[in-house]
Amino acid sequence: MLSLEQLNILACPGCKGKLTQHEQGQYLLCRPCGLRFPVRSGIPVMLLDEAEACGDQGPETGDREAGF
């Protein structure tokens, strides 16, 4: 899992929006874009080509938000 400090540094490469961490830190979700970015071996893959469309943009329990 990424720390809140790490989440504060990262932004969506598409819209520059803040990201939330979900599914036990396996993905970073950009709610405005509806994209989720994989986290592999603790490293976020912040490439639009690697992002997946995510239909669930509502709040999830256990999400960790970056505090901008």
- CATH code for position 31: 2.20.25.10
Interatomic CA distance for residues 16 and 29, integer angstroms: 12
Residue 27 lies in a domain: yes
Residue 12 lies in a domain: yes
**pLDDT, tens digit (0-9, with 9 covering 90-100), for 5-60:** 999 999 999 999 999 998 888 999 999 999 999 999 999 999 999 999 987 554 44
Look at the pTM and tell me if it is higher than 0.85.
no
Domain range for 16: 4-56
Q: How many domains does the chain have?
A: 1
Interatomic CA distance for residues 6 and 32, integer angstroms: 20
Residue 49 lies in a domain: yes
Residue 67 lies in a domain: no
- In the prediction, which pLDDT does 67 show? 47
- In the prediction, which pLDDT does 66 show? 53
Residue 35 lies in a domain: yes
Residue 66 lies in a domain: no
Residue 61 lies in a domain: no
